[in-house]
Amino acid sequence: MPAHWGWLLARTLGLITLGAIIGHLLGSALVGALVAALGSLAWHLRQLYLLERWLANGRRFQVPDGEGVWPRVFARVWLFRRRAKSRGKRFRRLIREVRASTEALPDGGVVLNARHEILNFNESARRLLGLHKRRDRGQRIESLIRDPEFAAYLQDPGQRQGVELKAPAGGDTWLSCRLVPWGPGQSLLVLRDVTQGVRLERMRRNFVANASHELRSPLTVIAGYLDTMAEDPGLDEQWREPVAVMKEQALRMRRLVEDLLQLSKLESGSRAPMEDPVDIGKIVVAVSREVASMAVKLPAVRLDISSHASLLGDEGEIRSIVSNLVSNAVRYTAAEGSVTIAWSADDAGGRLTVADTGIGISAEDIPRVTERFYRTDAGRARQRGGTGLGLAIVKHAMRRHDGDLSITSELGVGSTFTCQFPPQRIVQAAS
x/- mask, ligand ADP, residues 290-329, rule CB under 6 A, reads ----------------------------------x---xx
Under the binding rule (CB under 6 A), the answer on residue 402 touching ligand ADP is no
Under the binding rule (CB under 6 A), the answer on residue 68 touching ligand ADP is no
Q: How far is the CB of 258 from ligand ADP (least distance, A)?
A: 12
Name the residue whose CB lies closest to ligand ADP. 386
The count of residues interacting with ligand ADP (CB under 6 A) is: 23
What lies within 8 Å, CB to CB, of 357 at 6+ separation is: 299, 333, 337, 338, 339, 413, 414
x/- mask, ligand ADP, residues 323-362, rule CB under 6 A, reads -x---xx--x-----------------------x-xxxx-
Under the binding rule (CB under 6 A), the answer on residue 375 touching ligand ADP is yes
**Nearest residue to 110 (alpha-carbon basis) of 123, 121, 119:** 121
Under the binding rule (CB under 6 A), the answer on residue 153 touching ligand ADP is no
Q: How far is the CB of 408 from ligand ADP (least distance, A)?
A: 11
Long-range contacts of 155-164 (CB under 8 A, 24+ apart): 157/187, 164/194, 164/198
Residue 95 φ/ψ region, left for φ over 0, alpha for ψ in the -120 to 50 degree band, beta for the rest: alpha
**Nearest residue to 395 (alpha-carbon basis) of 280, 266, 255:** 266
Q: Write out the DSSP string of 285-332.
A: HHHHHHHHTT-SS--EEEEEE----EEES-HHHHHHHHHHHHHHHHHT
Whose Cβ is closer to ligand ADP: residue 247's or residue 252's?
A: 252
| Binding region for ligand ADP (CB under 6 A) out of 45-53, 70-78, 208-216, 370-378 | 370-378
Using CB under 6 A as the binding rule, the residues of this chain from 71 to 130 that contact ligand ADP are none
Under the binding rule (CB under 6 A), the answer on residue 267 touching ligand ADP is no
Q: Contact, 118 vs 139, CB < 8 A?
A: yes
Whose Cβ is closer to ligand ADP: residue 325's or residue 426's?
A: 325
**Nearest residue to 385 (alpha-carbon basis) of 248, 247, 208:** 248
384: helix, strand or coil: coil
Q: What is the largest CA-CA distance in the chain?
A: 155
Whose Cβ is closer to ligand ADP: residue 128's or residue 339's?
A: 339
Q: Which residues bind ligand ADP (CB under 6 A)?
A: 324, 328-329, 332, 356, 358-361, 369, 374-377, 381, 386-392, 415
